[in-house]
Structure 1
Amino acid sequence: MSDQGVDERAAVRAFRERVGLPALVDVHTHFMPDRVLKKVWAYFDGAGPLVGRVWPIQYRQEEDERIALLRGFGVRAFTSMLYPHKPGMAVWLNAWAADFAARTPDCLRTATLFPEPGVEAYVKEAVAGGARVFKAHVQVGGYDPNDALLDPAWGLLAEAGVPVVTHCGSGPVPGRFTGPGPIRALLARHPRLRLVVAHLGMPEYAEFMTLAEQYGEVRLDTTMAFTDFTEDIAPFRRDSETLARLAALGDRVLLGTDFPNIPYPYVHQLEALERLGLGDDWLRAVCYGNGASLFGVDGEVAAGRGGPEGDVL
Structure 2
Amino acid sequence: MSPLTWHSLLITWNMPVAAGVLLGVAALAYAGGVAKATRWPVSRTIWFFAGLTVTTVATGGAVEVYSDVLFSMHMAQHLLLIMVAPAFLVFGRPAELLRVTARGGLRRALSGVANSRWAVLGTHPLTAFALYTAVVVGTHLTPFQQSALIHPWLHGLEEFAYLASGYLLLAAVLPHEPLRRPWPPLLRLLLLLPGMAVDTVVGISLMMTPAEPFPAYAAIPRTWGPAPLQDLHWGGAIMWVGGDALMAAVAIVVITDWVRTQATDLGPWLNAARRSAIGRGLDENADLDGEEALRAYNEMLAALARDNRR
TM-score (norm. length: structure 1): 0.29
Q: Quick one: higher RCO (CA 8 Å, sep 6+), 1 or 2? A: 1
User: Whose strand proportion is higher, 1 or 2?
Assistant: 1
- In terms of fraction of residues, the more helix-rich structure is 2
- Structure with greater Cα Rg: 2
TM-score by length of 2: 0.29
